[in-house]
Amino acid sequence: MKIPLCIPCVGEEELDAIRSVLESGWLTHGPKNREFAARFAEYIGVKHAIPMNSCTSALQLALEAQGITGEVILPSFTFVASANAIVNAGAQPVFADIEYDTCNIDPSSIKASVTSRTEAIMVVHFGGQSCRMDAVMQIAERHGLAVIEDSAETIGGEFRGQKAGSFATGCFSFYPTKNITTGDGGMLTTDNDELGGKVRALIAHGISSIAHEREGQAKPWFRSAMYAGYNFRMSDILAAIGVEQMKKIDGMNEARREHAAYLSERLAGLDQIDLPVELPECKHVYQMYTIKVKDVNRDEFVGRLRNRGISASVHFDPSVHLQEYYRTLGTSPVPLPVTERVSRSIVTLPMYPQLNTVELDYMVKVIKETLAIMETV
């Protein structure tokens, strides 16, 4: 049996949407962008949602548009794009530790990392579960810091009934492994009118109006740049896919939650692994289903699963502060023992809505058999 790490959940609706855009002749930044943005803003519960080419671009502009060039606290346990966005915005990454159970940034580590140069906190909602946003927002308010939510992995996740990406400036990814996909692409969310307007201009070469909107004007060719912007726009082809994905998101997330519960029930009680934890304050949407191995060689364990057709992987090893570029550039005023422990032990198992009980049972069977034959280290 072969079980991939992830399969995008797309169907005839997405194909029809793509065909409709191609036939319309309006392929770039146009009406489907507006529809996708409106649906996404309503779903997250914010005033503004701005589609763009990637979550990385959203993270960078979340910083640039607020003029943040000082220290930005973030977890080292994340994909390198989070730190890259900080550097490319002209700011300085400062790495904090995480909590073992959730793999999310530890508020006590944030507190210990704040200095007079700190300007922002970038939380990363790991694998489908929100960070402890009450504690994060309290720290930010106490020190006058901006907050950016890297919500790439947590589209639809909630903390105390509020969607991730709605507490501050949210940044989302639509890469094929995420809770919804457009093939690639991202979104920035905010309730701040000024920030939203500036980001809209920055994604389109610094020009505040888009071509589709100018068509009804007396001089639709007139374009005046307000900023030295970028071409970070999303095409209408991708936005059309996003519109269809938004119609399915709750059902897809519920399927992920059901699969996670099925796995956790059947893997419970194994001494060699720790299962994912869903905090009582949170709604976990399981963009990833991760376990942590204990007293066995993690890399050997992953290799054995892959040899038996289970496309297990690791997120994230090495953590960012140990990667070559960031060994000298990044700073970490606090020790990161939990980050390094988790990086050595975490395993990502296949997770996507289309999984069936035959595949889930096979995963459980192989994991149990593999652990039974592996030597303790």
**DSSP-assigned letters across all residues of 304-345:** HHHHTTB--B-S-SS-GGGSHHHHHH-B-SS--HHHHHHHHH
What is the C-alpha to C-alpha distance for residues 260 and 264, in angstroms, rounded to an integer? 6
Tokens (6 digits) for 333: 């005023």
Closest CA to 263 of 371, 374, 350: 350
Closest CA to 242 of 6, 10, 7: 10
Closest CA to 126 of 74, 62, 197: 74
What is the fold, at CATH topology level, of the domain defined by 250-373?
Answer: Aspartate Aminotransferase, domain 1 (3.90.1150)
Residue 374: count other Cβ atoms within 10 Å of its Cβ. Answer: 16
The one-letter code for the residue type at 199 is V
pLDDT at 109: 97
pLDDT at 214: 44
Looking up tokens 């399969």, which residue turns up?
A: 7
Catalytic residues: 178
Residues of the chain falling short of pLDDT 50: 212, 214-215
Tokens (6 digits) for 171: 């940044």
* CA distance readout (Å), 260 to 16, 61, 108, 291, 293: 31, 34, 29, 11, 17
Which pTM does this prediction carry? 0.95
The one-letter code for the residue type at 10 is V
φ, ψ of residue 205 to 5 degrees: the values are 65, 20
Looking up tokens 């606290």, which residue turns up?
A: 73
The one-letter code for the residue type at 168 is A
pLDDT at 222: 59
* CA distance readout (Å), 373 to 242, 266, 365: 44, 19, 13
Number of Cα atoms under 13 Å in the Cβ half of residue 213 = 10
Domain map of the chain by residue range?
A: 12-248, 250-373
Residue 362: count other Cβ atoms within 10 Å of its Cβ. Answer: 16
Closest CA to 150 of 191, 110, 105, 208: 105
CATH number for domain 12-248, candidates 3.30.70.100, 3.40.50.1000, 2.170.150.20, 3.40.640.10:
3.40.640.10
pLDDT at 209: 60
What is the C-alpha to C-alpha distance for residues 90 and 98, in angstroms, rounded to an integer? 25
- Alpha-carbon dihedral sign for residues 35, 37, 40, 45: negative
Strand blocks (E) in the chain: 48-52, 71-75, 92-96, 118-124, 146-150, 158-159, 162-163, 169-173, 186-190, 273-274, 282-283, 289-293, 346-349
The CA-CA-CA angle for residues 135, 150, 190, to 5°, reads 85
Tokens (6 digits) for 27: 């392929």
The one-letter code for the residue type at 42 is E
What is the C-alpha to C-alpha distance for residues 113 and 137, in angstroms, rounded to an integer? 15
pLDDT at 208: 76
pLDDT at 331: 78
3-state SS class at 74: strand
What is the C-alpha to C-alpha distance for residues 26 and 104, in angstroms, rounded to an integer? 41
Between helices 357-373 and 298-307, what is the axis angle to 10°?
130
